[in-house]
Amino acid sequence: MAYNARVTGWVGWVWFAGMMMIMVGLFNILTGSLAIVGDDLYVTAAGRLLAFDITGWGWIHLILGILAVITGVALSVGQTWARVVAAVLVMLNALTQMAWINVNPWWSLIVIALDVFVLYAIIVHGREAAALND
């Protein structure tokens, strides 16, 4: 089904989303790698939402980070598949940040805020970026 969209200045939000996905992915790679290598550097509070040990969450963050960087690059060049994958990854990332919040609360809140901006851009203005590639 063809979509005849008038491309507006809002298409910049989609490129913003791609760049933010790359940045959030790099953040996740950094924190995930640190958690894997030096899990004793993090302090956790007992009885909080953290379901795995720090190393387990480190692997989750590392994998999601790598996927986010790849998807962010694809989103920035207007790949249609990347919008769907990006939306799923952003939601998963926000959920993992909620579980990670007792380990690093301010960092998690910042990343969740970035996830909200990325999700908004992908959902509301994603078709405009795809229209540029047609």
Per-residue pLDDT tens for 69-123?
999 999 888 888 998 999 999 898 888 888 778 778 898 899 899 888 888 888 8
Domain residues for the domain of 92 are 11-133
Q: Is residue 2 a part of any domain in this protein?
A: no
Q: Is residue 100 a part of any domain in this protein?
A: yes
Q: What is the rounded distance in angstroms from the CA atom of residue 33 to the CA atom of residue 61?
A: 8
- What is the number of structural domains in the chain? 1
Q: Is 108 helix (H, G, I), strand (E, B) or coil?
A: helix
Q: Is residue 1 a part of any domain in this protein?
A: no
> Angle at the Cα of 97 (from 57 to 88), degrees rounded to 5?
95
Q: How confident is the model over 64-70, as a mean pLDDT?
A: 94
